[in-house]
Amino acid sequence: MKLSKLFSFIFVFVVAAGIAYGQDGTITGTVKFSGTPPTMKPFPVPSSFTGCGKEKSLDRLIVGKGGGVANAVVYIEGLKKKAGKTSPGEYVIDQKNCEYHPHVLVVAQGNAFTVENTDMMFHNVHGYVEATHATAFNIAEPIKGMKAIQRVRKPGMYLLECDVHPWMNGYVYVAGNGYATETNSDGAFTLSNVPPGKYKLVMWHEGWNTKIVGGRPDYSKPVEQTQEITVAAGKATTADFTLK
């Protein structure tokens, strides 16, 4: 009887181990700011820009509960997953109230997103390859309700600017079927279904030391941090980042 129980235990252990071996892991963590977050004076909107309000926030460091930083992008360098079905309509950049919404967008699947204008004025989305500042695309949308699908040739980070309204900027990270996400309002992030292995995890933030030069905002350079992590089958790995 005891021998039977022993064999049963060994069988359950082996089956459970086999299931765990075939499972993917998860990466969770936070991006936080250490210290007192700096603040920026609002940018006074010139009276010639009607319909945009009197001032616009230049704060690019959005700190929430417990020092968590929103709008940071976290991705695994070089790791790709099987391409899934996606539609450009799943990822949308809206030009609303003379701002880009969302300010940071991660296109996790595919290489396309939709650009929309819900303002009653002319906007354009001038997209630059963030690393080189070379023009990648330039979409003009002079009429409210216009929509356009934009596809990019290479995955990576793209800076968005409006050539009409100098304070308007935003970012789109095209993962190209990679593992990427953005932090929420509390600075938390999760990357799911990650195969077991060792990886380089990258955290990107656009930076926050904005200056006014010649009557226009001059945004600071992005900040990147990396960590070497190990993902185990069926387990969660924690990776936290701190900005200062």
Q: pLDDT tens digit string along 62-99?
A: 999 899 999 999 999 999 887 666 666 789 999 999 99
pLDDT above 50: residue 187: yes
Strands 25-33, 241-243: pairing kind: parallel
pLDDT at position 85 is: 65
- 68-91 core/surface letters (b: 16 or more CB in 10 A; e: else): bbbbbbbbbeebebeeeeeebeeb
Average pLDDT over residues 123-138: 96
What are the residue ranges of CATH 2.60.40.420 in the chain? Answer: 83-176
Residue, of 110 and 4, whose pLDDT is higher: 110
Share the mean pLDDT of the chain. Answer: 89
Least confident of 79-93, 97-111, 148-162: 79-93
CA dist 188 and 75 (Å) reads 13
pLDDT at position 13 is: 41
What are the residue ranges of CATH 2.60.40.1120 in the chain? Answer: 24-80+182-244
CATH superfamily of 24-80+182-244: Carboxypeptidase-like, regulatory domain (2.60.40.1120)
CATH number of 83-176: 2.60.40.420
pLDDT above 50: residue 16: no
pLDDT at position 110 is: 85
pLDDT at position 116 is: 97
pLDDT above 70: residue 26: yes
Contacts of 113 (CB under 8 A, 6+ apart): 88, 91, 92, 93, 105, 107, 149, 150, 172, 174
pLDDT above 50: residue 18: no
